Amino acid sequence: MVVAHQPSNRQEKELPIIDLMGERSQVSKLIVKASENLGFFKVINHGVPQHVIKAMEDESYDFFSKPTSQKQRAGPANPYGYGCKNIGFNGDHGEVEYLLLHTNPLSNNTICNDPTLFRCAVNGYVEGVRELACEILELMAEGLGVPRTSVLSNFLRDSHSDSLLRLNHYPPLVQLVNNTNSIGFGEHTDPQILTILRSNDVPGLQISPRDGFWVPVSPHPSTAFCVNVGDALQALTNGRFLSVRHRAMVNSCRRRMSMAYFGAPALNARIVCPPELLSPHEPNLYRPFTWDEYKKATYSRKLGDTRLHFFRAQSDHDDLTE
């Protein structure tokens, strides 16, 4: 049964659109401002070749156009593989099917008619968006005044990085009436450092700048990537950058496709704010923790549960099983 969800609170919102070909110091300031105020922004002139993007989009369309029995050969999402409507391990559901891949090239198994073509598309796309994510993280460090500008990007460049690529397909739900929307992927924050999202021209992404207040995000311009701060980056910036709750809605008329790169550290990487961002008046808000600790806390909870407050330096919640 499809349950229609209440409409969002406002008309579509245009996120800050940042031209990465602009003057570098100004670009870094704009990125920091957007990360502090909204946790979301878009980038254009990003350097990821259009043919690389198109190759990944074509392979995604091809995969999701296959019969269910063929898609299931990619294996259940445990955690990597093909999933349909079931999200995670704790009873979350949505009107979505997806393919979750680790960004390690050796992890991409045969899931398409031409596995070599698919693997090349994935590896080329991941390389492009990872470099983009690293460039953005270095611009962030510059804008924050951190002398070691690679302090954030090094997490993603680590050969043991736990980064992911998720391909999402939100089919149209023709049984919905009056063009209302249904939830495709429920509200959540991304636990990783940085997310780089590419989608087609069908709206669906919504963000919640404050509790209970949902704003649809325009899918335009079509050449842009949408970027958002993850929980780990909020901790790394001592709460200065915001990891904002968001969700994906399903359109009743058109199918939506998206490709999300989740830039994450290695499992044993320590998440701790650089000392340059701390002072006696601004002590560390979060205790040091490893990505493995935070990932386990994430997977032990439902999609919409908050997690980061359990890692606050003053927190009494040492038992993460609460």
Please tell me the distance from the alpha carbon of residue 148 to that of residue 142, in angstroms, as a whole number.
Answer: 8
Torsion angle of the four alpha carbons 149, 153, 158, 163, in this order, in degrees rounded to the nearest 10 = 170
> What's 223-238 look like in SS3?
CCEEEEECHHHHHHCC
End-to-end CA separation in angstroms for the chain: 31
Q: Percentages helix, strand, coil for the chain, rounded to the nearest 5?
A: 30, 25, 45
Instruction: Identify whether the C-beta of residue 99 lies closer than 8 Å to the C-beta of residue 81.
Output: yes
Query: Are 166 and 74 a contacting pair, CB within 8 Å?
Result: no
Cα separation, 36 vs 7, whole angstroms: 27
| Closest among 219, 206, 259 to 99, alpha carbons compared | 259
User: Distance between CA atoms of 127 and 152, rounded to whole angstroms?
Assistant: 17
* Helices and strands: H and E segment counts in the chain: 7, 14
State the alpha helices, DSSP H only, in 170-249.
231-236
* Length of the chain measured in residues: 322
C-alpha–C-alpha distance, residues 210 and 147, integer Å: 33
Residues 140 and 152 sit within 8 Å (Cβ to Cβ):
yes
The position carrying tokens 């994935």 is 122
- What is the set of active-site residues? 256
